[in-house]
Amino acid sequence: MIKTDILIIGAGPTGLFAVFEAGLLKLRCHLIDALPQAGGQCSEIYPKKPIYDIPAFPEILAGELVDNLMKQIEPFQPGFTLGERAETIEKLDDGSFLVTTNKGTKHQAPIVAIAGGLGSFEPRKPPITGIAEYEDKGVEYIIRDPELYRNKEVVIAGGGDSALDWSIFLTDIAKSVTLIHRRNEFRGALDSVEKVQELKNSGKIELITPAEVVDIVGENKVEGVSVKRGAEVFNRKCDHFIPLFGLAPKLGPIADWGLEIEKNAIKVNNALDYQTNIPGIYAIGDVNTYPGKLKLILCGFHEATLMCQSAYQRIHPDKRYVMKYTTVGGVEGFDGSKKEAPKAVIKSID
């Protein structure tokens, strides 16, 4: 039996940052994640993808963000159960929760924070006959290592942020990049659309719209794709075909825990502390929903902070916590280490 103060389900950026905020309150955390390593989507799906909206980082790779978070929470010595999925939850007589994984590992805590992102993912595959035969032979639905495409001819299909961002990123790596979308309009960020247009004008990206890939060309591996544009069908030579049509999320067993679910997300009270309809169970990050919800990492950080404050009051109802800024109190880890805040220096003026 693993016992802790806050049991966090999901070891993505939001779950990791919750460890830091809990640590400031002297609350210990343990995290469960079905993936074999911490970091969630940032580690598993796009570790080399640049992120542009993390405060103080004009640009940071997703994997680097995870590394920084892991270093930040090191003093608070969190526990991890990785490669196991949270399967069932039971409320015990003392009011705490018992969470058991698919491998039988039991965890007990008075607070459960669900930070499972969008759940488990399956890529949305284009309806191309026989495409499964080319998977791992030139067809990839997720870009994990951009170096795989160095000096290769790449065709990307899609019209969202992922298709746009990777098309931009790979122009400095691949021999050629072709972006194909079935519409002239894109669903991604305006600045990304404008950047793709600039790269097209400079000859660094071939943009084919409105069009779609209808077939794969090649014997034992991808050698090209067939593209349909209007009534015209033509072949485009390539080494890799990357359809980026998004990922279909599933909540998994959490959906059966008695939580209030809306459109595959967990409803929470955002006016207070991101608590669910079950007292003591919170949902933070992309897994939750409320009026005005934005699925951004920085929003998850904010939600984790308020969740930890509420958790402290539930665990210590008779104590009054007075918030201290880290610039004043520093950061004291469970290992005895402490980062001291600089002391004020008073100088007289003659």
Residue 329 has pLDDT above 90, yes or no: no
- Rounded-to-integer distance, Cα 282 and Cα 303, Å: 10
pTM score, whole prediction: 0.68
Q: CA–CA separation, 295 vs 247, rounded Å? A: 15
Averaged pLDDT for residues 64-85? 95
pLDDT tens readout for residues 117-176: 876 666 789 999 999 999 989 999 888 789 999 999 999 999 988 899 899 999 999 999
Q: How confident is the model at residue 36 (pLDDT cuts 50, 70, 90)?
A: confident
Answer yes or no: is pLDDT of 193 > 80.
Answer: yes
Residue 343's pLDDT is 58
- Condensed to tens digits (0 to 9), the pLDDT of residues 90-105 reads 999 999 999 999 999 9
Predicted pLDDT of residue 73: 97
CATH dotted code for 125-243: 3.50.50.60
* Tens of pLDDT, residues 196-208: 999 999 999 999 9
Which pLDDT band, with edges at 50, 70 and 90, does 328 fall under?
low
**Pairing of β 6-9 and β 29-33:** parallel
List, for residues 259-277, the tens digit of each pLDDT value: 999 988 999 999 989 999 9
pLDDT value of residue 341? 60
Whether the pLDDT of residue 323 is over 90: the answer is no
pLDDT tens-digit series, residues 39-53? 988 877 777 788 999
CATH topology of domain 2-121+247-339: FAD/NAD(P)-binding domain (3.50.50)
Answer yes or no: is pLDDT of 38 > 70. Answer: yes
| Euclidean distance between CA atoms 252 and 190, whole angstroms | 34
Residue 184 confidence (pLDDT): 94
CB contact at 8 A, 208 and 234 = no
CATH 3.50.50.60 domain locations along the chain:
2-121+247-339, 125-243
Pairing of strands 60-61, 50-51: antiparallel
Q: What is the CA radius of gyration of the chain?
A: 24
- % of residues, the chain, pLDDT over 70: 94
